[in-house]
């Protein structure tokens, strides 16, 4: 009986343990054990709602983006992610339009390091309506940027459940990105005025489709400005973030929600993406819909990033630094 109970307990442990799989699909080789894993079901459920016709393209100031905000707020509440301000909303005015970023917060568990912050962000707004195609005029914005939004939500859930973060984390979803980075600009200025001790910031932009097999999983904008990509790869134990020449050519570093934080804080603040202009034809298009997303790629990317993020969030000293330019 004792041996039988021991066997049952062992089976229970094995069934509960989760391993982030390596590129070869095998457990443990280039993966890490984790007590929680992003699933296709959870990613698909969030993506299909945020990119649904009901939300009418999530234009800032619209009823659709209000529904998206409520959805994200409820997700944070359900997963025990606290608001950083009095509520989850960081509101701002753009003439006659009211915008609001959604800001979740998980305090660090180290008495000293919890005073340092890491920001993980993405924009949850989109353009609303687009050029009509076969009677469809709603630009759903699945890849741009419901995909990044869902990734940030999943990491928030992970850290809320595992409590593995020594530094404090802000999970920031921005509106008015499509109006010129207005949401992230407002939040960066507000946090700067409040003297937030910001260590690093990463923005996730369009991660819903995979790159070609011969390419590195993702690329980072402003690659040469800091050692962030190098350190993330070290923490992961494998190169998953690389340099992309077109990102520099098109000056993408200055065109996404990382830039206001770099400008305000002068710290490593970059965007990471898997969209490389060859793997998705529907930028600002009505066919940027959830059914065009590769959910297996998304969960693979989200899970692969966890040890990289944990390394950044938990390092004993501030190893990520700006490079001399």
pLDDT in tens, 103-112: 999 999 999 9
**Res 32 pLDDT > 50:** no
Q: At what angle do helices 147-162 and 40-50 cross, to 10 degrees?
A: 130
251 Cβ partners below 8 Å, 6+ apart? none
306 confidence band (pLDDT: 50, 70, 90):
very high
Quick: pLDDT tens for 78-95: 999 999 999 999 999 999
Coil/strand/helix, residue 220: strand
Whole-angstrom distance, CA of residue 124 vs CA of residue 171: 12
Mean pLDDT of 279-289: 97
For the chain, domain boundaries: 1-35, 37-314
Report yes or no: 257 and 102 within 8 Å, Cβ to Cβ: no
Peptide bond connecting 87 to the previous residue in cis, omega within 30 degrees of 0: no
Whole-angstrom distance, CA of residue 112 vs CA of residue 315: 12
**37-314 carries CATH number 3.40.630.10:** yes
Question: CA neighbours within 13 Å on the CB side: how many for 66?
Answer: 5
pLDDT at 9: 35
Average confidence score pLDDT of the chain: 91
pLDDT at 39: 84
Mean pLDDT of 126-143: 97
Distance separating the N- and C-terminal Cα atoms of the chain: 68
Mean pLDDT of 92-102: 96
- Lowest mean pLDDT across 19-28, 41-50, 119-128: 19-28
pTM of the model: 0.90
């Amino acid at each position: 009986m004792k041996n039988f109970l021991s066997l049952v307990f062992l089976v229970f442990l094995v069934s509960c343990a989760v391993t982030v799989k390596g590129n070869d699909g095998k457990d443990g080789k280039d993966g890490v054990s984790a007590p929680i894993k992003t699933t296709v079901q959870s990613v698909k459920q969030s993506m299909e709602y945020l990119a649904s016709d009901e939300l009418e393209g999530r234009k800032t100031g619209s009823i659709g983006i209000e529904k998206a905000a409520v959805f994200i707020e409820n997700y944070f509440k359900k997963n025990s992610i606290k608001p950083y301000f009095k509520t989850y909303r960081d509101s701002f005015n753009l003439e006659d339009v009211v915008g609001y970023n959604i800001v979740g917060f998980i305090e660090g568990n180290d008495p000293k390091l919890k005073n340092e912050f890491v920001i993980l962000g993405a924009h949850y707004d989109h353009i609303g309506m687009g050029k009509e195609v076969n009677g469809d005029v709603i630009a759903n914005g699945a890849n741009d940027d419901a995909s990044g939004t869902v990734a940030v939500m999943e990491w928030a859930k992970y850290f809320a459940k595992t409590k593995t973060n020594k530094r404090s984390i802000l999970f920031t979803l921005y509106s008015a990105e499509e109006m010129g980075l207005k949401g992230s600009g407002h939040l960066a200025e507000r946090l700067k005025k409040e003297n937030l001790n910001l260590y690093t910031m990463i923005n996730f932009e369009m991660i819903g489709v995979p790159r070609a097999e011969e390419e590195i999983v993702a690329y980072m904008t402003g690659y040469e400005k800091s050692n962030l990509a190098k350190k993330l790869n070290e923490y992961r134990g494998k190169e998953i973030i690389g340099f992309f020449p077109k990102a520099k050519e098109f000056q993408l570093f200055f065109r996404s929600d990382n830039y206001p934080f770099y400008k305000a804080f002068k710290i490593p603040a970059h965007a990471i993406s898997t969209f490389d202009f060859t793997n998705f034809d529907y930028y600002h298009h009505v066919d940027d819909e959830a059914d065009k997303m590769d959910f297996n790629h998304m969960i693979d990317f989200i899970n692969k990033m966890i040890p990289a993020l944990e390394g950044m969030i938990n390092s004993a000293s501030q190893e990520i630094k700006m490079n001399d330019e």
